[in-house]
Amino acid sequence: MEKRPLPSGLFCVLEENMNIFVYADESGVFDRIHNDVFVFGGLIFLGKDERDEGQRRYRSVEKVQRRGGAARGHREMKAIYLTNKEKSSMFRAMNPYHRFGVIVNQQDVMPRIFENKKSKQRYLDYVFKRGLKSALQNMLNNQEIKAESVESIYVSMDEHTTATDGRYELRESLENEFKNGTYNWNWNRYFPPLFPDMKTVELQLKDSCQDSLVRAADITANRLYYAAISKQYDLVKDHIDFITLP
């Protein structure tokens, strides 16, 4: 095992057989008639210990904010119920961990994508996959992770993010991208997987009321969404590893 530095100045021990835990949520509405921007945002944890540490940190900040009156009258502390100051405090709590995201400029998306529910869901699956792959590729390039050490990837998303009957397609798409590799017939080109020795990719749709790290992903997505609609990318460029599409 070896150590990697965290942004906080602490160190995380890299495991030889590492499980990667991803938590993600969306912000905005995928509807180009009424909305210009749609966002996915989330967090990546390297190993169970880092995931559990992040969970404890976030729950602790939630308790402090709740005692201060945050989200009064609401069951869960999602971004929509919080002040900017409260959201900033909760966002900073996740500074030690890798945050990622993807911004979709909807006016540049082909109109036919919006014609039916199935094509919209497939495009959003593609968007999420691109955003996550970009972040993991950057972590490989920065030697934060080793491709041969990754055993499995566990993705948890808010249950409202993707249709239940579409989760199997998304899981298969992620597994092809990260484990098996993909082939583009239009370009006649094969794209090798990031982690060819890994075992599996698992996908869970979760109720954010029951999972604090899905709520942390909600805060991340909300911050990225605000930066996108206000064109204030300086707010996030040093804190969220994101790409823009299409």
Q: Which helix (H) or strand (E) holds 217?
A: helix 212-230
Closest CA to 51 of 174, 159, 152: 152
CATH class as words, domain 2-245: alpha beta
**From CA 175, how far away is CA 193, in angstroms rounded?**
9
Note the pLDDT of residue 69: 95
Note the pLDDT of residue 184: 80
Token pair of 58 as six digits? 């976030």
In the chain, domain spans = 2-245
Where helices occur in 93-166 by DSSP H, the ranges are 117-141
Q: Which residues contact 130 (CB under 8 A, 6 or more apart)?
A: 102, 243, 245
- One-letter-per-residue 3-state SS of 172-192: HHHHHHHHHCEEECCCCEEEC
Average pLDDT for 99-109: 97
Note the pLDDT of residue 164: 61
Average pLDDT for 237-242: 96
Note the pLDDT of residue 1: 46
Q: Categorize the per-residue pLDDT at 16 as very low, low, confident or very high, splitting at 50, 70 and 90.
A: confident
φ and ψ at residue 180, rounded to 5 degrees: -100, -25
Average pLDDT for 201-208: 94
Token pair of 153 as six digits? 């990837």
Note the pLDDT of residue 67: 94
Helical packing angle, 84-92 and 48-67, nearest 10°: 150
Q: Are 191 and 176 a contacting pair, CB within 8 Å?
A: no
pTM equals 0.91
Q: Categorize the per-residue pLDDT at 95 as very low, low, confident or very high, splitting at 50, 70 and 90.
A: very high
Q: Are 28 and 39 a contacting pair, CB within 8 Å?
A: yes
Q: What is the chain's mean pLDDT, rounded?
A: 91
**From CA 206, how far away is CA 137, in angstroms rounded?**
26
Q: Are 215 and 58 a contacting pair, CB within 8 Å?
A: yes
Angstrom distances, CA of residue 97 to CA of 107, 117, 147, 216: 32, 34, 19, 11
Token pair of 17 as six digits? 């057989």
Token pair of 242 as six digits? 């994101």
For residue range 124-167, what is the model confidence (pLDDT) as tens digits? Answer: 999 999 999 999 999 999 999 999 999 999 999 998 766 666 78
